Amino acid sequence: MQIYLNFERVLTESELTTLREMVQRRGNREPLQYIIGNVQFCGWELTVTPSVLIPRPETEMLAERGWQSLAELVTHHSSLVTALDFGTGSGCLAIALASKVPGAEVHALDASTEALNIARQNATKQNVTIHFHQGNAFEALKATDSRFDLIISNPPYIPSAEIETLDPEVRDHEPCSALDGGADGLDFYRLLAMEAQNWLKPTGKILLEFGDGQADAVKKTFESQKFVVESIECDYSQRPRILSARPPLS
């Protein structure tokens, strides 16, 4: 952008070398966000590397629904309000919740040590406190006795066989572990439907992003575990994208 705004300035040889390298990387279909090392998410500049998924605009809507839910709880509850970002990646969802609802206690887990390092950097950059946990799914929380008012997640949801059909920017550069949702793309939704109840407060809520054409299957997956599905919300392109559900009343 600075080059464009100052197009009459002659670049130094060092600047030209840097620019040529960046253009070559983009020519090899590496995502621009990885080349420049950051991405904008809900107004925050976050560091991203090939260790983490690049946050998408539809995930901003998920973040907004999350902080709206948390803010309402903080307003009406005298006890501590807690949230969990399941599979935090860059930390974008956890950072959004912690930034917008400073009265809430936010936790984030991921199986990837490299991803958690990026998430911690981003939390420090945005000056928010997040409790990070490393491990496989809810096993990461086994040393805690936490129960959450909100579990939020953008889990992997691409069917395994479709990974090879994705654009090179995604297929060849973004972490496969953040994309591959198993044979039908629903592995993590089944896991969450079966196990999230053990980590939610009785009045808690789960908010999830899912892929194109998965609305009915995801809804049935949670209903099969007696969750009460409150809504399926469309994204900005009017495609079903966000599930909101509550655990069964005891």
Q: What is the dihedral of CA 117, 118, 119, 125, to 10 degrees?
A: 110
pLDDT for 9: 84
Residue 233 pLDDT more than 80?
A: yes
Q: Which of 80-89, 219-228, 241-250 has the lowest mean pLDDT?
A: 241-250
Query: Does the 52-246 domain belong in CATH 3.40.50.720?
Result: no
**How far apart are alpha carbons 146 and 6 in whole angstroms?**
53
Residues, the chain: 250
86-91-96 Cα angle (round to 5): 95
- Point out the least confidently predicted range of 2-6, 149-153, 207-211, 212-216: 2-6
On whether the CB atoms of residues 221 and 198 are closer than 8 A, the answer is: no
Q: What is the pLDDT of residues 46-74, one digit of tens each?
A: 999 999 999 999 999 999 999 999 999 88
Q: Which residues contact 113 (CB under 8 A, 6 or more apart)?
A: 134
The predicted pLDDT at position 5 comes to 81
Place 79 in a pLDDT band, splitting at 50, 70 and 90.
Answer: confident
Of 74-88, 101-115, 162-176, least confident by mean pLDDT is 74-88
pLDDT band at 76 (very low <50, low <70, confident <90, very high): confident
| Across 35-42, average pLDDT | 96
CA nearest to 159, candidates 210, 116, 226: 210
* C-alpha distance across the termini of the chain, in Å: 56
Predicted confidence at residue 6, as pLDDT, reads: 79
Per-residue pLDDT averaged across 147-175, rounded? 96
pLDDT score of 86: 98
Percent of the chain scored above 90 by pLDDT?
82
The residue-averaged pLDDT of 17-24 equals 87
Residue 13, token pair as written in the block: 């040889």
How high is the pLDDT of residue 250? 61
d(C-alpha 162, C-alpha 160), whole Å = 5
> DSSP string of 87-150?
S-TTTHHHHHHHHH-TTEEEEEEES-HHHHHHHHHHHHHTT---EEEESSGGGGGTT----EEE
Q: How confident is the model over 114-159, as pLDDT tens digits? A: 999 999 999 999 999 999 999 999 999 988 888 999 999 999 999 9
Rounded to 10 deg, the angle between the 92-100 and 113-125 helix axes is 30
Q: Which of 100, 139, 144, 135 is nearest to 115 (CA)?
A: 135
Both tokens of 232, joined, read 């399926």
pLDDT score of 18 more than 90: no
Please determine, for residue 198, whether its predicted confidence score (pLDDT) is greater than 90: yes
88 versus 78: the higher-pLDDT residue is 88
At 83, list the tokens.
């949230």
Averaged over 238-247, what is the pLDDT? 96
Q: Where are the alpha helices (DSSP H) in the chain?
A: 2-5, 13-27, 32-36, 57-76, 92-100, 113-125, 168-171, 187-195, 215-223
